[in-house]
Amino acid sequence: MLSRAPLSSVDNRKQNNFDVFRLEVERLDALANPQLLPKTTISLQAATAKDRDLAQLLKVILSGWPDIKSHLPSCVKPYWCFRDEMSVHNSVIYRGSQAVIPKSMRREMLMKIHASHAGAESNIRMAKDIVHWPGMQPEIKDMCQSCGQCAQFGRENTREPMKSQPIPQYPWQFVGQDIFQFESSSYLVTVGHYSDFIELDELDNTLSSTVIKHSKSHFALHGIPEVLLSDNGPQFVSTEFAAFCDLYGITHITSSPYWPRGNGKAESAVKIVKTFMKKCADIQLALLTYRNTPQEGHSLSPAQRSMGRRTRLNIPVSPEMLGPDKVVSKLVVRNQSQKREGEEVL
């Protein structure tokens, strides 16, 4: 942030009116827009400085927008509709809190946005609040359509069956767990029914003691759930697991053997994770991207619903976007109710 304190070395050269205006705009902008993290700022600064179109945009933002769109350079016209949202801080251009990405960095950003190999709509929901450039959404769709990994493995159907469980009122009140196999290894999935936040553990074995060990770790982080739903696997119906739930004050329920899909939330999470494992070189980065992507029917991501904030990705995100959200739980419950009503109509 710029300071009003005198500099230790004063430049006696006269500043013209434009320089004074530019400094004042940046000073005021510093109060309204948080700077990006330093490493990201340096990369964006360098790429922005070399981008001729953004140099024109920068000049217009600092000198003032004309009254008529036709008076703009053609490369700046795509930003006309957002002119009241455009600002500059530390030589990085923003639309609101979204960093405007120079052309030279857009391919890299597309690859990072598509790190989870989710569908185009999911990628767009994640990216649109964080970064911006003209034509970003069509480019994301093109990226997804041309992705070799997505073409090879196709799209998994992760729609959940209708459920009779009540809608939770807070994060990690109600969780589901399931164990699955992938390439000769066993994994435990734990998912919050309120937030859709997924935790994944590779298991040394599928004993109750191992499942309990990983469950304790997640509950120490997220809080102990009131209700835990699982299938009737031996590790979940053992005396040892029952004692663990009793000690931690958890009501453990199991899906019916005649309706195994009663644990649909966990089964959906397993499908999501298996898709990541097939398509993604870095499963943890894929999970990070998933956790920061609002699902269809939700305006908040799993991270926001579970933790009340976004978590930092490897794409430009300002600290303001990473701060705690004033998440209203009624919004989450309303989204879930509307989503369930839509499923019941189908």
**What pLDDT sits at residue 215?**
98
Going along the chain from its start, the domains and CATH numbers come out as: 35-152 (1.10.340.70), 174-343 (3.30.420.10)
Closest CA to 331 of 291, 310, 307, 304: 304
Distance CA 214, CA 231 (A): 17
258 pLDDT band (50/70/90 cuts)? very low
pLDDT tens for each residue of 233-256? 999 999 999 999 999 999 999 986
User: Which pLDDT tens digit goes with each residue over 57-79?
Assistant: 999 999 999 999 999 999 999 99
Q: What is the dihedral of CA 22, 25, 28, 33, to 10 degrees?
A: -110
For residue 85, which of 75, 100, 102, 69 has the smallest C-alpha distance? Answer: 100
Secondary structure class of 48 (helix, strand, coil): helix
Kindly tell me if the per-residue pLDDT of 51 is higher than 80. Answer: yes
CA neighbor of 315 nearest in space, from 285, 284, 272: 285
**Which 8-state DSSP code applies to residue 75?**
T
- Burial grade of 164 (CB within 10 A; 0-12, 13-18, 19 or more): exposed
pLDDT at residue 185 greater than cutoff 50: yes
Residue that is written with structure tokens 């970064």 in the block = 131
Cβ neighbors of 338 (< 8 A, separation 6 or more) are 297
Average pLDDT over residues 11-34: 50
Residue 315: what pLDDT?
A: 87
Of 76-85, 104-113, 326-335, which range is least confident?
A: 326-335
Confidence of residue 319 (pLDDT cuts 50, 70, 90): confident
Instruction: Quick: pLDDT tens for 270-290.
Output: 999 999 999 888 999 999 999
At 329, the pLDDT band (50, 70, 90 cuts) reads low
Where does residue 259 rank: exposed (0-12), middle (13-18), buried (19+ CB within 10 A)?
A: exposed
Q: Above 60 in pLDDT, residue 126?
A: yes
